[in-house]
């Protein structure tokens, strides 16, 4: 059976509820039982006082007035009994209620005059008993013990009734709580269930994006899911566009080659030129079609190490160019190394190609609010002729170049711009203090401790 967040929450909260209600029930039961027992003790104490008030001395013997305040003492087998004995254990007086009932006395030898001793008898009929020892001057045996006894049945019945009502009450509370909890969980999980349905609709092609209005706890998740969906849709679009562009771009060179092969002596220069053109077209369309979105995948690439590899290679390729590095940040970039090599390699190669002899590569962290995502800024400057303001939008378009003297098809900066846009970065072109172009590329990164 698949796991369920709702089932987990229900089981956990229900277990906590059962433990809490059980502990509460036990505490209430214990408290009520103690209060009932204390009530029985207080009642028996009143009976003892009543006995002492009804006793009188007559000829060194005790006599009792039968007009007790407690009428049950005069009713046989009423459940309330009274005994009066001396220190030797002789019964001096017995209530009428105890006449037909076997009422045993407690061990009264340990009684100290003036003390009350409360006991529970579990042998035979369960009973409570309270004994009080006094010294009665003028009697033949001055030590007199007054004992009041009552059956536990009425008190046990009250405790059992309380336990039954307590169980029913706590059980009802538990059922109501579980029902309310179930409804609350269903209501609380509605956004997750809605997201689940929308993801299924996305898989079936019945919708293009997730809806809005998710709670704050799910907004980041919804944003990341939407980002994945957008990347997948862009990937499909790029494949379609690349195939269309490739078919359209290959039509002309294939037509030229076809016509050239019809001649008795085809021009090898013409054929080589068309083949080179087709290779450039295929390479460019493949680059465009295979652009990925590592920013969504969280891949890490050390920015400083990657830039140093590029600088070392270009110093070998362009020995007359002085490439200066200024690395003021060490955090990793968010992206695949091959794509980042393509981004910075195109810009660095153009800088070395069109400079007069000096190039500066600077790596710095972008100043952002504390809660914002970390970003790194790579600035590449040269001392060449620069890029005119009117040409800056043109040079990032595929096949467009500001200088037609150097070899190439004009796709380097366009691929760089497409990759930077895909990585949700920013590419700006301005004038450098060195006199040439200043290209600044800002890309998402990671915090150094993340």
293 neighbors 418 (Cβ within 8 angstroms): no
Write out the DSSP string of 296-315.
Answer: HHT-EEEHHHHHHHHHHHHH
Instruction: Count Cβ atoms within 10 A of the Cβ of residue 217 and give its class: 0-12 exposed, 13-18 middle, 19 or more buried.
Output: exposed
Residues 6+ away with beta carbon under 8 Å from 324: 358, 359, 360, 361
* CA separation, residue 94 to residues 105, 120, 294, 380 (Å): 11, 20, 99, 115
> Percentages helix, strand, coil for the chain, rounded to the nearest 5?
50, 20, 30
pLDDT digit of tens for each residue in the chain (450 aa)?
Answer: 456 777 888 888 888 988 999 999 999 999 999 999 999 889 888 888 888 877 777 777 777 776 666 778 878 878 888 888 887 777 888 888 877 777 766 555 567 777 888 888 777 788 888 888 888 877 777 788 888 888 888 889 999 999 999 999 999 999 999 899 888 888 888 888 888 888 888 778 778 777 888 888 777 887 888 788 777 777 777 777 677 767 766 766 777 777 777 777 777 777 787 787 778 767 766 766 665 544 444 678 888 888 988 888 888 878 898 999 999 887 788 887 777 887 888 888 889 988 999 999 999 987 666 545 678 899 999 999 888 888 888 777 754 444 444 443 334 577 788 888 888 889 999 999 988 999 999 998 876 545
Give the separation between CA 443 and CA 100, rounded to whole angstroms: 102
Strands 91-94 vs 358-365: parallel, antiparallel or unpaired = unpaired
pLDDT value for 361:
93
pLDDT value for 295:
42
Structure tokens of 157? Answer: 């019945």
**106-115 confidence digits (pLDDT tens):** 555 567 777 8
Scan for tokens 């796709």, then name that residue: 411
36 neighbors 128 (Cβ within 8 angstroms): no
Give the separation between CA 88 and CA 84, rounded to whole angstroms: 12
The backbone torsions φ and ψ at residue 287, rounded to the nearest 5 degrees and listed phi first, read -60, -40
209 neighbors 198 (Cβ within 8 angstroms): no
Domains of the chain: residue spans and CATH: 5-158 (3.30.450), 216-289 (no CATH), 297-444 (3.30.565.10)
Structure tokens of 37? Answer: 């027992």
**392-419 confidence digits (pLDDT tens):** 887 777 544 444 444 433 345 777 888 8
Residue 14: count other Cβ atoms within 10 Å of its Cβ. Answer: 15
pLDDT value for 284:
63
291 neighbors 239 (Cβ within 8 angstroms): no
**355-381 confidence digits (pLDDT tens):** 999 999 999 987 666 545 678 899 999
Residue ranges in 189-215 assigned as alpha helix (H):
190-204
24 neighbors 170 (Cβ within 8 angstroms): yes
Residues 6+ away with beta carbon under 8 Å from 39: 155
Strands 358-365 vs 322-327: parallel, antiparallel or unpaired = parallel
314 neighbors 347 (Cβ within 8 angstroms): no
368 neighbors 435 (Cβ within 8 angstroms): no
Which of 45, 52, 40 lies closest to 134, judged by CA? 52
Rounded CA Rg of the chain: 49
Prediction pTM value: 0.50
Give the separation between CA 377 and CA 419, rounded to whole angstroms: 15
Give the separation between CA 426 and CA 428, rounded to whole angstroms: 7
419 neighbors 343 (Cβ within 8 angstroms): yes
- What's the order of all strands across the beta sheet hosting 437-444? 322-327, 358-365, 375-382, 437-444, 426-431
* CA separation, residue 395 to residues 156, 404, 429 (Å): 97, 12, 10
pLDDT value for 30:
93
């Amino acid at each position: 059976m698949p796991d369920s967040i709702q089932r987990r929450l229900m089981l956990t909260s229900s277990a906590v509820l059962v433990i809490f209600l059980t502990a509460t029930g036990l505490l209430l039961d214990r408290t009520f039982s103690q209060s009932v027992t204390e009530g029985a003790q207080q009642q028996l104490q009143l009976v003892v006082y009543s006995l002492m008030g009804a006793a009188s001395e007559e000829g060194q013997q005790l006599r009792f007035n039968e007009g007790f305040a407690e009428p049950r003492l005069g009713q046989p087998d009423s459940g309330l009994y009274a005994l009066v004995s001396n220190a030797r254990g002789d019964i001096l007086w017995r209530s009428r209620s105890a006449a037909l009932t076997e009422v045993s006395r407690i061990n009264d030898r340990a009684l100290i005059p003036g003390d009350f001793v409360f006991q529970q008898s579990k042998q035979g009929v369960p009973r409570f008993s309270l004994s009080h020892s006094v010294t009665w001057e003028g009697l033949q045996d001055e030590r007199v013990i007054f004992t009041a006894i009552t059956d536990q049945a009425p008190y046990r019945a009250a405790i059992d009734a309380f336990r039954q009502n307590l169980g029913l009450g706590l059980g009802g509370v538990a059922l109501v709580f579980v029902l309310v909890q179930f409804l609350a969980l269903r209501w609380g999980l509605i956004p997750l269930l809605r997201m689940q349905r929308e993801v299924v609709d996305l898989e079936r092609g019945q919708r293009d994006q997730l809806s809005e209005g998710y709670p704050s706890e799910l907004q980041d998740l919804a944003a990341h899911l939407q980002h994945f969906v957008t990347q997948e849709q862009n990937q499909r679009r790029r494949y379609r566009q690349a195939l269309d562009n490739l078919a359209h771009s290959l039509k002309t060179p294939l037509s030229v080659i076809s016509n050239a092969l019809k001649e008795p002596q085809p021009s090898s220069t013409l054929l080589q030129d068309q083949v080179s053109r087709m290779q450039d077209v295929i390479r460019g369309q493949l680059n465009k079609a295979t652009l990925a979105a590592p920013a969504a995948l969280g891949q890490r690439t050390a920015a400083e190490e990657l830039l140093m590899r590029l600088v070392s290679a270009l110093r070998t390729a362009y020995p007359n160019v002085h490439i200066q590095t200024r690395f003021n940040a060490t955090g990793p970039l968010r992206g695949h190394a091959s794509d980042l090599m393509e981004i910075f390699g195109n810009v660095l190669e153009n800088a070395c190609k069109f400079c007069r002899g000096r190039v500066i590569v600077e790596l710095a962290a972008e100043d952002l609010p504390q809660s914002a995502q970390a970003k790194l800024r790579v600035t590449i400057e040269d001392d060449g002729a620069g890029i005119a303001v009117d040409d800056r939008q043109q040079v990032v378009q595929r096949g467009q170049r500001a200088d037609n003297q150097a070899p190439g098809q004009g796709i380097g900066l366009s691929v760089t711009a497409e990759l930077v846009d895909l990585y949700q970065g920013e590419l700006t072109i301005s004038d450098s203090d060195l006199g040439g172009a200043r290209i600044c590329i800002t890309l998402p990164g990671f915090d150094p401790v993340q």
